[in-house]
Amino acid sequence: MPLIKLVGGTLGKATTFFALFIVIVGVVLKCFDDPEPEHLGRMTSDMKTLEENFRQNNKSCFVLGASGETGKVLLQELQQRNIFSKITLIGRRQLNFEGKAFENLVQEVVDFEKLEDYAAAFQGHDVGYCCLGTTRAKAGTQGFIRVDHDYVLKSAELAKAGGCTQFHLESSRGADKSSNFLYLKVKGQVEADIQALDFDRYSVYRPGVLLVDRQESRPGEWLARQFFSAVSAVVSTSMSIPIQTVAKAMVSNTVLQPQHKFEILENKAISTLGKSDTK
């Protein structure tokens, strides 16, 4: 048999096997999916009116992590929906924006190692969004804890002291302060520590793998993303989510009036909210 035919046949079988594998994994994951949060679908039915009512109150917000993948899209969403009279970006470096849409943005450049010295940057905001985070590969174990726990908690404390009443934290699926995995433990710990600050409203978002074309090289995350992109093309599961959906959900949720002052939105709930009609 010619070599080309043999290779072609083997590749064809491998592709069929892989496609079958993806379908089976998708169906299995679907069985373990989070339950459908029906109440969110109902609550979002009149998003336009809710947004209009919220807009009338001339509220201001700040965003931590606006230079990151979710933060960038969150900022675009906030600008498009125009529900705040002022948006402040708090970060470690000045960002360059061009165009009229960015004229009303305020930027505060802070040293996260000396956040106490920048308390003024956190004063006078009604709502805070946090999409800050790093990885152990990038910052080492202590660096990761410093950013994902210490910086986030200190920012929330300063915001609360400065009059902020709503805090929205992008955490992670599986966050659990008792976990044996450092990543999930740190995420769970910071969630709990911020809860103790007792904001009038505190929402935690726990997305699965973020589906995004990241510029930065993160091989482990890239592999997970390829895998979950393939699975989600077959069947939508709670294991992954596009960043646009997360950003949309964070903004939509801001204008809703939840029953409880503290809420955790798992991947499925984020997905439902993020797909609500905002046009």
Ligand X SMILES: NC(=O)c1ccc[n+]([C@@H]2O[C@H](COP(=O)([O-])OP(=O)(O)OC[C@H]3O[C@@H](n4cnc5c(N)ncnc54)[C@H](OP(=O)(O)O)[C@@H]3O)[C@@H](O)[C@H]2O)c1
Q: At its nearest, how many Å lie between ligand X and the CB of residue 149?
A: 11
Q: Does 92 bind ligand X (CB under 6 A)?
A: yes
Q: How far is CA 201 from CA 17, 143, 257, 262, in A?
A: 48, 29, 10, 6
Query: Can you tell me which of 112, 118, 144, 202 binds ligand X, judged by CB under 6 A?
Result: 112
Contact (CB, 8 A) for 243 and 229: no
Q: Does 131 bind ligand X (CB under 6 A)?
A: yes
Among residues 94, 120, 119, 97, which one has the least CA distance to residue 107?
94
**Known catalytic membership, residue 183:** yes
Q: Does 71 bind ligand X (CB under 6 A)?
A: yes
What's the CA gap between 203 and 215, in Å, rounded?
A: 28
Q: Does 147 bind ligand X (CB under 6 A)?
A: yes
Query: Can you tell me which of 79, 134, 179, 195 binds ligand X, judged by CB under 6 A?
Result: 134
Q: Of how many residues is the chain composed?
A: 279
Q: Which of 183, 185, 261, 275 is catalytic?
A: 183
Q: Bridge partners of 242?
A: 211
The token pair that represents 236 in the structure block: 């939508």
Query: Can you tell me which of 44, 70, 189, 272 binds ligand X, judged by CB under 6 A?
Result: 70
Query: Can you tell me which of 155, 172, 237, 253 binds ligand X, judged by CB under 6 A?
Result: 172
HSE-CB of 115 using CA atoms within 13 angstroms: 19
Q: Which of 72, 160, 187, 268 is catalytic?
A: 187
Site string for ligand X, 2-31 (x = CB under 6 A): ------------------------------
Residue 268 amino acid letter: K
Q: Does 121 bind ligand X (CB under 6 A)?
A: no
Query: Can you tell me which of 186, 207, 245, 266 binds ligand X, judged by CB under 6 A?
Result: 207
Paired sense of beta strands 127-130 and 86-91, if any: unpaired
**Known catalytic membership, residue 248:** no
Choose between 25 and 247: whose C-beta lies nearer to ligand X. Answer: 247
Q: At its nearest, how many Å lie between ligand X and the CB of residue 209?
A: 4
Choose between 155 and 166: whose C-beta lies nearer to ligand X. Answer: 155
Phi, psi of 234 (to 5 degrees): -90, -50
Q: Does 48 bind ligand X (CB under 6 A)?
A: no
Q: At its nearest, how many Å lie between ligand X and the CB of residue 131?
A: 4
Reduced to 3 states (helix: H, G, I; strand: E, B; else coil), residue 107 is strand
**Tokens 């491998």 sit on residue:** 14
The token pair that represents 143 in the structure block: 């660096």
Residue nearest to ligand X (CB): 68
Contact (CB, 8 A) for 43 and 55: no
Paired sense of beta strands 127-130 and 209-211, if any: unpaired
Choose between 69 and 77: whose C-beta lies nearer to ligand X. Answer: 69
Catalytic residues: 183, 187
Interface positions with ligand X (CB under 6 A): 65, 67-71, 91-93, 112, 131-134, 147-148, 170, 172, 207, 209-210, 221
